[in-house]
Amino acid sequence: MDEGNAAPVLDGQPHAIVERDGVRYTLLGTAHVSQASVDAVRTAIAGGGYDAVAVELDEPRLQALTDPDALARLDLIQVIRTGRTAMFAANLALSAYQRRLAEQLGIEPGAELKLAALQAREQGLPVHLIDREVGLTFKRASARLGFWGRAKLGGGLLGSLLASEDVGHDEIEKLKQGDMLEASFNEFAAESPAIYETVIAERDRYMAARLREVGEESGPEVREVLAVVGAGHLQGLARHLREEQRPGPAVREELETLPEKSGIPWFTLALAAFVLGGFAWGFWQGGLDVGSDLLLQWVLATGVLGAIGCAIAGGHPLSIIVAFLASPITPLHPALASGTLSALTEAWLRKPTYADFMALRNDVQTLKGWWRNRVARILLNFFLTSLGTAIGVWTGGLRMLGTLF
């Protein structure tokens, strides 16, 4: 790390200084649960030596830190309809994790990032949010995992929402090294290079690209930029800021794109062919009785288990009916996913109130709160209906195989 030109105020704080294209970037590494980091940020910005401030945040995370009412303005039906339910759950899990830390340690996680944004605005300095959106990072990580990896990741997120015990020593040490997402995904990152690459290494590249864009777009009046980032990103960010030759927008756009799926959804096509072929074979070889029996077994296995999942989630009777009707066709037409349709029905029939959104972070800390809070119950509806349908697909498929062979 370059230390020679560091301002005296940064002495003793992890930092790096990188000069590129006429702009000097001072990277201040912080710990997300440290009062010393809060004080360092306050002193650095108050010193008046910077033309702009960049912060390791995205817009939703900044809103969560600075505007408690932002969650209440969320259109949950739109979130579900556009397929962002898992992304919303990931953000909620991160918020729940931060709340546990705040209660345990007596300091708001990310307080130094919040202070950097607010103090810079008070002093009339441009504020640039340089981190990639958490939901997009989660989707990229999920896309690089296999089926069981995604199931484990989803289960871990759900578990973190329900957890109430103290955060472990190892996780707190991760936070002292300076990255909230790495600590949140700690268990998975240790076992999965794909998650580590997405959660840490990719974000180093992304933030370096964003910083270069800040320098290019700001004009000659911005020559000193303070970037407040987790200490865990300091070395990687400084390296990419010095060495990356591709244009910043090209790097950023690459890292915002979800990995391409196989051009042909072989598993979906194979499953649909198996189910429809099984029905056709049953009607052809066994006549109306065998074909009808196969169809009935499939509908009951998938529909009943999907409906049971919805019922366990406390779904409205009409949501349960929708889950029952949608589950048999979910494997044949994923756009009509039972979890999505039943959750949409639940959100329409039992629209969450302002109080539900305001109480959400507290309610998800207890098992009973999940069923009491309408927002949490809609999420449960989505996950448990989807889980019930998935179990029903395997059960129905095995029954079909037994009948045919």
pLDDT digits (tens, 9 = 90+) for 321-359: 999 999 988 877 766 789 999 999 999 999 888 788 878
337 or 187: which leads in pLDDT: 337
Compute φ and ψ for 28, nearest 5 degrees: -100, 115
Q: Which residues pair with 17 in a beta bridge?
A: 26
pLDDT at 153: 64
Dmax (CA) of the chain: 87
Mean pLDDT over 115-131 rounds to 93
pLDDT at 1: 40
Decide: 130 and 227 in contact? Cβ < 8 Å. Answer: yes
pLDDT at 173: 54
Structure token digits, residue 236: 């990687």
Using pLDDT thresholds of 50, 70 and 90, give the confidence band for residue 363.
confident
pLDDT at 8: 54
Exposure string for 180-215, b = 16+ CB within 10 A, e = fewer = bbbbbbbbbbeebebbbebbbebbbbbbbbbbbbbb
25 pLDDT more than 90: yes
How many degrees, rounded to 5, is the angle at CA 30 between CA 188 and CA 229? Answer: 75
Q: Is 18 left (phi over 0), alpha (psi -120 to 50) or beta?
A: beta
pLDDT at 3: 44
What CA–CA distance (Å, rounded) separates 308 from 302? 10
95 or 326: which leads in pLDDT: 326
Helix (H, G, I), strand (E, B) or coil at 168: coil
Helix pair angle (234-243, 202-218), 10° resolution:
50
pLDDT at 208: 95
What CA–CA distance (Å, rounded) separates 246 from 347? 45
Scan for tokens 């196969």, then name that residue.
294
Structure token digits, residue 301: 């296995």
Q: What is the pLDDT of residues 244-292, one digit of tens each?
A: 999 989 999 999 887 665 555 666 667 777 777 777 887 787 778 777 8
Q: What are the sequence ranges of the domains in the chain?
A: 8-256, 266-404
What CA–CA distance (Å, rounded) separates 399 from 183? 43
Mean of the per-residue pLDDT values of the chain: 79
Q: How many CA atoms lie within 13 A of 401 on its CB side?
A: 8
